[in-house]
């Protein structure tokens, strides 16, 4: 259920927050919006957002927009790599490729800051410096 809170005394002082679905870390996460003239307007918006979220969840279309704020390092080591079924040698190769090529370039930055054309330019540079096999594995 959403909740509203007054933030200041201006023309649109109300904001609303609503609970996001669990993401596996055991913590509660909220989304929100601000800029509402009344508490009722804020709560109406929050209820609408919860309903849309529920529809998306049922369809399998819901995506946590905040996940894009995590770093590529966190995603690679905590999400992507553990989900792969790799031999020990392949796992070591992927880890090495990440440490050598990908991590230094984008590891500390958020996922949602990685642009497609930057990746394409990176691939072109990699293919010019490394074997086709290495470039393919990295990509």
The CATH number covering residue 95 comes to 1.10.150
How far apart (Å, rounded) are the C-alpha atoms in residues 100 and 53? 39
Same-domain status, 27 and 80: no
Of 63, 80, 105, the position where a domain reaches its end is 63
pTM above 0.85, yes or no: no
Check pLDDT > 90 for residue 27. Answer: no
Check pLDDT > 90 for residue 62. Answer: no
Range of the domain at 73: 68-138
Of 63, 93, 109, the position where a domain reaches its end is 63
Same-domain status, 55 and 79: no
Domain count of the fold of the chain: 2
Of 11, 43, 63, the position where a domain reaches its end is 63
9 SS3 class: coil
Handedness of CA 38, 43, 46, 47 (dihedral sign): negative
């Amino acid at each position: 259920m959403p909740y509203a809170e007054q933030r200041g005394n201006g023309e649109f002082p109300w904001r609303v927050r609503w609970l996001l679905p669990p993401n596996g870390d055991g913590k509660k996460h909220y989304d929100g919006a601000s800029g509402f003239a009344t508490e009722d307007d804020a709560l109406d918006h929050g209820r609408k957002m919860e309903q849309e979220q529920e529809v998306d969840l049922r369809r399998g279309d819901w995506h946590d927009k905040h996940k894009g704020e995590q770093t590529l390092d966190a995603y690679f080591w905590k999400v992507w790599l553990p989900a792969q079924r790799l031999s020990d040698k392949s796992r070591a190769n992927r880890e090495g490729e990440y440490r050598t090529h990908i991590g230094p370039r984008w590891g500390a930055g958020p996922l949602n800051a990685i642009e497609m054309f930057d990746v394409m330019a990176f691939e072109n540079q990699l293919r010019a410096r490394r074997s086709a096999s290495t470039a393919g594995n990295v990509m």
